[in-house]
Chains A and B, each alone.
Chain A
Amino acid sequence: MKDQLIVSKKFKTAAYILIGIGVVSFALGFAFDAKRTWANYLLNNYYFLSLAMGAAFFGAIQYITQSGWSAAFKRISEAMVAYIPFAAVFFLLLFFGMHSIFEWTHEEVVAEDHLLQHKSAYLNIPFFFTRIVVFFGAWILLSKLLRKLSLKEDETGGLDYFVKSEMYSKIFIFVIAISFSLFAVDMLMSLEPQWFSTIFAAKSFIAAFMHGSSIITLVVIILSRLGKLEFLNRSHLHDFTRYIFMSSIVWGYFNFVEFMLIWYGNIPEETAWFVHRWDGAYKILFFVNIILNWFAPFIVLMPRKTSRSKLFIFPVIVLLIIGQYTELYYIIWPAVVHEAKFGLLEIGTFIGFAGVFALVVATWLSKASLVPSKHPYIEESMQHHF
């Protein structure tokens, strides 16, 4: 296997140091402010899971559409999907922080609130964790199956594995669409259980897809800087940015639709969520979100020239990395921490999770040949040009 990625010692040590920083700031966080620490834990956990889920969706779409151009890059989405089992462990550990984060876990709150009593058939701790286990079980099962088929294909070749992968991908997108939507409702929307918003799940889903594909692009750019993926050309980059561009428009649309309809309808159950986000730092964040996640990618990636040059794509990806953070911060902080606090704790935990994610992706990239040499579309992918 000539296209093997070797994870350097330096990278591993760096990742371990990042994880160490994360663990330390997480532990110190408990000493000072447990609630805020759990909010950080939830945010970063969801953040990196959403990247992995976005990559899973990206990979599944490539099979279903029988895309030729992306065949050579499928190892990258596979490596990102390998983070899902780790996220499963992290999310199960959330059990110890439930009472700090989720209002509906407090029995005395539920007893006074008629709406929460009504919702308690769905929002209760046993069912909540059953859902987590079922969702993660399905995701891990399907992603492992796809990975196994893809590795077998590398040995023997032929069309059989591709046909099978396409079949499983078809199942996978339905599973992702339903389960990840419910998952986003569980993890983010139920932070304020009195709130209603129908499009929230769709918005979280498209945000995951957008940031997942932007991280795939980032990894591709990094790998090409390391001298791998020599066949990478401007057409590939253009196709990657099309995903970012398209999903940023959809995100902008969903975000606007959610806000505009709630603003226009003016129903207290819905507006409350926005009302207490309409002052101070949160009001600024509301606009920052729109600029980072929609306006910047939309404007920068629109012209043909910029959408195929690493010089322009890279800063947009950096903005999107920040954008997903501010977006989740905007959702989680007003509900849990109330005050917009941002300090070393936030940076530390983010760094820690980023270390885990980077280490997992790099390790899984190095476990198989970087280019799936027997993929039926591999030639087309390498010659891709338009």
Chain B
Amino acid sequence: MNKDYILGVFKDEESLVEAFEKVKQKGILPFEVYTPYPVHEILEGMGNKTRISHAAFFFGLFSAIGILTFLTWAATISWPINYGGKPTNSFPSFIVVTIVATILSITLLTLFTFSARAKIFPGKVPEIFHSRATDDRFVMVIDKKSLGENEESVNAIITAHGEVE
């Protein structure tokens, strides 16, 4: 039992979604919803559009340009070597390295961005609202401050579909 939050715990997707919609109709946006798998209505209802894909695109764009520039600079200006009569600027063969290294940099940079935004770091004490939120239960977390005078009715909505804990 948490002092600042109401936890609605549901056994299946349908009851969670129904309760979620009703709570939203009251003008209350839940603080967070934990589901074992992505639930479309919740993703849309929570209204948090992720921008990580945009970030990933620009990481990719800049690392691709950077890697290509570096390879060209290294092979033509800094250390030109004759490999079997090929021109020093052997662009097609740079592409392979660029693709692979770009994928690596996108992966790592996106991981770091995500961790920074979600405030996740090694050794962090996990915030777990409910012991089965990481298991098979659907948990809706509502901030008590956002409730105002609706606490009774929200409790009623949740108990109609699941349990309040």
Q: Are B92 and A386 in contact (CB under 8 A)?
A: no
- Judging by beta carbons under 8 Å apart, are A264 and B93 in contact? yes
Q: What residues on B are CB-neighbors of A304 within 8 Å?
A: 53
CB-CB contacts below 8 Å: A160-218 with B = none
Q: Which of B40, B53, B86, B96 touches A260 (beta carbons < 8 Å)?
A: B96
Kindly list chain B residues whose C-beta atoms are within 8 Å of the C-beta of A302.
Answer: 57
Is A129 an interface position by the 8 A CB rule? no
What bracket does the count of chain A residues touching chain B fall in? 10 to 19
Q: Bound state CA distance, A304 and B7, in angstroms?
A: 34
Q: Say whether A259 contacts B92, CB under 8 Å.
A: yes
Interface string of A251-265 (1 = CB under 8 A from B): 000001001100110
Q: How far is the CA of A215 from the CA of B115 in the complex (A)?
A: 42
Chain B neighbourhood of A118, CB < 8 A? none
Chain B residues with Cβ below 8 Å from A260 are: 92-93, 95-96
Cα separation A44 to B86 with both chains bound (whole Å): 38
A263–B84 CA distance with the chains assembled, in angstroms: 12
Interface size on B, residues (CB 8 A): 10
Bitwise, A294-306 to B at CB < 8 A (1) or not (0) is 0000000010100
Interface string of A370-386 (1 = CB under 8 A from B): 00000000000000011
Asked if A385 and B92 sit within 8 Å, CB to CB, the answer is: no
Q: For residues 258 through 311 of chain A, which have their beta carbon under 8 Å from a beta carbon of chain B?
A: 259-260, 263-264, 266, 302, 304
Chain A residues within 8 Å of B96, by CB = 260
**Quick one: closest B residue to A256, CB to CB?**
B95
Complex: how many Å from CA A266 to CA B84? 10
- A385 contacts B95, C-beta separation under 8 Å: no
State the CA gap A256–B53 with chains docked (Å): 26
B40 & A386 in contact (Cβ 8 Å cutoff): yes
Contact at B92–A263, with CB atoms within 8 Å? yes
- 8 Å CB contacts to B: which residues of A304-323? 304
Give the residues from 78 to 93 in chain B that come closer than 8 angstroms, CB to CB, to chain A. 84, 86, 90, 92-93
Q: How far is B95's CA from A285's CA once the two chains are assembled, in angstroms?
A: 20
Asked whether A264 lies within 8 Å of B40 as measured between CB atoms, the reply is no
Chain B 24-51 interface residues, beta-carbon cutoff 8 Å to A: 40
Contacts of B86 in A (CB 8 A): 264
CB of B98 to closest CB in A, whole Å: 11
Residues of the B chain whose Cβ atoms lie less than 8 Å from the Cβ of A259: 92
Give chain A interface residues in 329-386, CB to chain B under 8 Å: 385-386
Query: In this complex, what residue of B is CB-closest to A266?
Result: B84
Q: Which residue of A lies closest to B53 (CB)?
A: A304
* Chain A residues closer than 8 Å to B90, beta-carbon distance: 264
- Among residues of B, the one whose C-beta sits closest to the C-beta of A261 is B92
Interface residues of B (CB under 8 A from A): 40, 53, 57, 84, 86, 90, 92-93, 95-96
Across chains A and B, which 10 residue pairs bring their CB atoms closest together, nearest first? A260-B92, A263-B92, A264-B93, A256-B95, A386-B40, A260-B93, A259-B92, A260-B95, A264-B92, A260-B96
Q: A256-B92, A264-B86 are in contact. List 14 more A-B contacts (CB 8 A).
A: A256-B95, A259-B92, A260-B92, A260-B95, A260-B96, A263-B92, A264-B90, A264-B92, A264-B93, A266-B84, A302-B57, A304-B53, A385-B40, A386-B40
